[in-house]
Amino acid sequence: MDKPTDERADRKESKSTIAAAALASGKNYKEAAAAAQWSERSVRRLMADPEFRSRVQELRSERASQLSGMLLDAGPDAFAVLMELLDAERPIDRWRAAQTLLIQGRSSRREDDFDERLSALERMANDGPTTDSAVGEEE
């Protein structure tokens, strides 16, 4: 490859990276195209490429994981604020804090239950049915 071709390929890769990051952060095709200095049509064409689409999804997953970690880090402080609000002067503030705690507690239990059930299904799918779970089997 000659030098201009290398530079062109590097520029394309750089723009592709910018477009992928923009899409992963929630930007639409038009916004991602503007960020990468491409046309919206070029971004749509890129999204048709399974490898590029996979890269965008991977970046989204990384961002979601980072955000989840940040939310988990802030959780104890947020919980402490809600606990303090249970002793607030205004009844509406106490009610809202109690409601938030109850809703979040119920939601957390549902998520934990869902995760346990999903894990059990995944184990069954990977290991096959056990003799205890086989239906219609005679002993």
Q: Name the residue type at position 82.
A: L
Three-class SS state of 93: helix
How many helices (H) does the chain have, and how many strands (E)?
5, 0
Alpha-carbon distance 24 to 70, whole Å?
18
Mean pLDDT of 128-133: 58
Alpha-carbon distance 42 to 23, whole Å?
13
Per-residue pLDDT reduced to its tens digit, 95-115: 999 999 999 888 888 888 898
Per-residue pLDDT reduced to its tens digit, 118-130: 999 999 999 876 5
Q: Which pLDDT belongs to residue 105?
A: 87
- The CA radius of gyration of the chain, in Å to the nearest whole number, is 25
Alpha-carbon distance 60 to 66, whole Å?
10
Per-residue pLDDT reduced to its tens digit, 38-75: 999 999 999 999 999 999 999 999 999 999 999 889 99
